[in-house]
């Protein structure tokens, strides 16, 4: 017993030495060390934040929030496997810890483990059925698996819960475009532009949808707008040149077709004249 007490005292001494600039009243409980870690995390001081969460866990190994926040911190420093381990522990200690499912889903998504991400976002939705972010991120995971209809369904739900959710409109527009549903894609990119008029990517993708419909004038205008807002958007320059080429070809084809119609009309007139005579 004595060794355990001494060992814990030494650990606390080390951590207090690491966690600099503490208030006059030092943290003593797991909850207090957890709060201290959150303060460091908000300052972007992840090293001290981790040290404080470690102490909280040492004081109370069954305190789920400390694992949760340590997992978030590991995620912030891109130590994703450690993040998964801590978030999973938090969920094991509290099976209704919605925030832990949500953030574990984000970590899985970062690791391209989309099926697991979907499972976690589904768990969040079961706990918080009006949480738009969970539908949005599950929609993204479905989209990455090319399950576009499911993605569209989730984005639509997110938009229903938050009608100004620009990212949901944008990604639903991409899903519509991926499934050749160009008119609703145009509507969604237009909604994004209404919310974020300086977002060049929205003009670019709306331009691509117009181009797919062979509405080249509108496409070129959108590519122009995209370039004005983001001159580094190299794809927009390429798309604009392609649209101009296609527009010119369309015009030539139209002129040739009109001339052919005139010629056919002339032949028909001659044939009618001959029949009457």
Q: What is the DSSP string of 15-68?
A: HHHHS-S--SS---SHHHHHHHHHHHHHTT-HHHHHHHHHHHHHH-TT-HHHHH
pLDDT of residue 257: 56
Judge whether 68 lies within some domain: yes
**Between the CA of residue 102 and those of 37, 69, 98, 123, 267, what are the distances in Å?**
20, 13, 6, 8, 72
CA 221, CA 211: separation in Å to the nearest integer? 11
Q: Is 74 exposed, middle or buried (0-12, 13-18, 19+ CB in 10 A)?
A: buried
CA angle, 120 then 174 then 183, to 5°: 130
What pTM value is reported for the model?
0.81
Residues 80-118: b if buried by 16+ CB within 10 A, e if exposed = bebbbebbebbbebbeebbbbbbbbbbbbbeeebbebbb
pLDDT of residue 252: 86
* Structure tokens, 233: 């958007």
DSSP state of 230: -
* Domain-located, residue 166: no
Give, for 139, the enclosing helix (H) or strand (E): helix 132-144
DSSP for 77-112, please give it: TT-HHHHHHHHHHHHHH-TT-HHHHHHHHHHHHHTT
pLDDT of residue 108: 98
d(CA 84, CA 103): 9
Give the torsion sign (CA, 207, 209, 212, 217).
Answer: negative
List Cβ neighbours of 240 (8 Å cut-off, separation of 6 or more).
207, 220, 223, 224, 227
How many Å apart are CA 148 and CA 178, to the nearest integer? 8
CA-CA distance, 220 to 65, in Å (whole number)? Answer: 52
Q: State residue 186's pLDDT score.
A: 99
- Tens digit of each residue's pLDDT (9 = 90 or more) over 100-151: 999 999 999 999 999 999 999 999 999 999 999 999 999 999 999 999 999 9
122 found inside a domain: yes
CB distance 68 to 90 below 8 Å: yes
Q: Residue 50 domain-assigned?
A: yes
CA gyration radius for the chain? 30
Q: What is the pLDDT of residue 26?
A: 63
Say which CATH number the domain at 87 has.
Answer: 1.25.40.10
Task: Please count the structural domains in the chain.
Answer: 1
Whether residue 60 is contained in a domain is answered as yes
Q: Is residue 124 part of a domain?
A: yes
- Please check whether residue 163 lies inside any domain of the structure: no
Contact 247, 223 (CB under 8 A): no
Q: What is the pLDDT of residue 259?
A: 55
Residues in contact with 246: Cβ distance below 8 Å, sequence separation at least 6, in sequence order:
211, 214, 216
Q: Could you read off the pLDDT tens digit of each residue along the chain, which spans 277 residues? A: 222 222 222 233 333 334 444 443 467 899 999 999 999 999 999 999 999 999 999 999 999 999 999 999 999 999 999 999 999 999 999 999 999 999 999 999 999 999 999 999 999 999 999 999 999 999 999 999 999 999 999 999 999 999 999 999 999 999 999 999 999 999 999 999 999 999 999 999 999 999 999 999 999 999 999 999 999 999 999 999 999 999 999 988 766 554 554 455 454 444 443 444 4
Q: Print the domain residue range for 116.
A: 26-129
Q: Is residue 80 part of a domain?
A: yes
């Amino acid at each position: 017993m004595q060794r355990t007490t001494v060992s814990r005292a030494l650990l606390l001494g080390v951590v207090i030495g690491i966690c600099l600039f503490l208030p006059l009243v030092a943290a003593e409980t797991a909850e207090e060390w957890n709060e201290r870690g959150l303060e460091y995390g908000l300052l972007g001081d992840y090293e001290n934040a981790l040290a404080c969460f470690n102490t909280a866990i040492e004081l109370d190994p069954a305190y789920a929030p400390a694992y949760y926040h340590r997992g978030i911190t590991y995620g912030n420093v891109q130590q994703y496997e450690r993040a998964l381990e801590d978030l999973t522990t938090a969920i094991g200690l509290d099976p209704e810890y919605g925030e832990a499912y949500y953030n574990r889903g984000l970590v899985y998504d970062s690791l391209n483990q989309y099926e697991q991400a979907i499972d976690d976002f589904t768990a969040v939705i079961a706990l918080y059925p009006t949480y738009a972010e969970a539908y949005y991120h599950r929609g993204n995971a479905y989209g990455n698996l090319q399950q576009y209809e499911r993605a569209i369904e989730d984005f639509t739900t997110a938009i229903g819960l938050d009608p100004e959710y620009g990212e949901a409109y944008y990604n639903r527009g991409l899903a519509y475009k991926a499934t050749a549903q160009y008119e609703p894609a145009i509507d969604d990119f237009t909604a994004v532009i209404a919310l974020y008029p300086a977002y060049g990517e929205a003009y670019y993708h709306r331009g691509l949808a117009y181009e797919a419909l062979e509405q080249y004038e509108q496409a070129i205008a959108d590519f122009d707008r995209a370039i004005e807002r983001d001159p580094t958007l190299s794809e927009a320059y390429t798309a604009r040149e392609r649209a101009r080429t296609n527009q010119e070809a369309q015009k030539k084809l139209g002129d040739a077709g009109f001339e052919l119609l005139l010629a056919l009309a002339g032949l028909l007139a001659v044939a009618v004249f001959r029949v009457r005579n």
